[in-house]
A = this chain, B = another copy of it.
């Protein structure tokens, strides 16, 4: 719907700007992937074949080769890369697209979180001459995603997914997860190093400086409409959405408090305020509806998460003041009319920062380091958030952990710099990593 779409525009615009400014080019590849292409990488097709929607007919004519609706685009981009890439001078190629993607979900769907038609999906695909370049690209992608979620004040955990849970066709997968208000985690972004798996399957080679032919190295990384869920669930409260001002389609709503025979005068002042703020590039909505009480308007805009409400009543007018209410704290303050623009501009920055700090603090309080499976299970059974335990790094113990605590291993947190000294919580052998687990969406 229109208001939601405006939030989507703002969210994806931040992401596009970050990708554009780091040398990514936007593109558009076909939705329909011939079965013959999808089948070229064996791990990939094994994972996706049963999860695809299949187009089998054009009109009433059966198609000779059936098409999958893209579940992801590696296999439709690869044949083009094979044509475009000749020599090392053509590399790197960093492409992205914002499209819809499809999964034939057999699990229960949930709006924006798990859908059969993922209406908003940003997928990036990069090609490189060396493993080192691909590794550096993974780091760049992680930095871009960090800056993206930071810009929305959304805290995250970054971990390397265990091998049994990586993207089909990847060498390894890094994942951004957030903790939702209900204590479950939600995967909100993934970064994959594909190695040469797809380039070998599709035989995509380039001529090196020495004149030899080598297969390219690839990465891919994606963020979906879940980014919208992330910002909604990181900041929302029992009164509805709480939008950071940089995401909010409307940053300030101006509401007159009518007083007998002064309606026209008060409305005029509200209009002046709107004009003044718009000149200062604040996104303002002026709510002059006559069929709603001020109270219903407050409720209406609170639900939609508008960061700042300005009320103008007869007493405010007398004192050349207005009343300002923050959506995040619901705190009221009065403000001299003459200081309105700088006060609002300052608030816009403060609210964004305060929302982020509050969300960071909340996240911190919901990550638990524990030393036994019993403790871990107890926390997870009441959906307390993420638990961290020490782990020997063997898949056997990872699976065992998942069974014992009835949760999902998110993986080993990335770049914590922590020195590990202790024993695996499952087998008691020397631990190699901290590993995170949670009840995941």
Q: A interface vs B, CB < 8 Å?
A: 1-2, 5-6, 8-9, 25-28, 30-32, 49-61, 67, 69, 95, 99-100, 104, 106, 117, 119-120
Q: Which residue of B lies closest to A58 (CB)?
A: B104
Q: Which residue of B lies closest to A54 (CB)?
A: B57
Q: Are A54 and B53 in contact (CB under 8 A)?
A: no
Q: Are B53 and A55 in contact (CB under 8 A)?
A: yes
The smallest beta-carbon distance between A4 and chain B, in angstroms, is 9
Q: Are A5 and B26 in contact (CB under 8 A)?
A: yes
Q: A55-B55, A59-B104 are in contact. Are A2 and B27 (CB under 8 A)?
A: yes
Q: Are B27 and A1 in contact (CB under 8 A)?
A: yes
The smallest beta-carbon distance between A15 and chain B, in angstroms, is 15
Q: Are A56 and B54 in contact (CB under 8 A)?
A: yes
The smallest beta-carbon distance between A35 and chain B, in angstroms, is 11
A28 interface neighbour in B5, B31, B106, Cβ under 8 Å: B5
- What residues of B have a CB within 8 angstroms of the CB of A59 in the complex? 49-52, 54, 104, 106
Taken together, the copies of this chain in the complex come to 2
Q: Are A117 and B32 in contact (CB under 8 A)?
A: yes
Q: A25-B5, A32-B117, A95-B2 are in contact. Are A55 and B58 (CB under 8 A)?
A: no
Q: Are B31 and A100 in contact (CB under 8 A)?
A: yes
The smallest beta-carbon distance between A33 and chain B, in angstroms, is 11
Q: A55-B53, A60-B50 are in contact. Are A28 and B104 (CB under 8 A)?
A: no
- What residues of B have a CB within 8 angstroms of the CB of A53 in the complex? 32, 55, 57-58, 67
Tell me, in angstroms, the Cα distance from A395 to B350 when the chains sit together: 68
Some 6 contacts from A to B, beta carbons below 8 A apart, are A2-B26, A2-B95, A32-B117, A49-B59, A52-B59, A54-B55
Q: Which residue of B lies closest to A50 (CB)?
A: B59
Tell me, in angstroms, the Cα distance from A374 to B50 when the chains sit together: 61
- What residues of B have a CB within 8 angstroms of the CB of A28 in the complex? 5, 8, 119-120
- What residues of B have a CB within 8 angstroms of the CB of A57 in the complex? 53-54, 56
The smallest beta-carbon distance between A285 and chain B, in angstroms, is 14
- What residues of B have a CB within 8 angstroms of the CB of A26 in the complex? 2, 5-6, 9
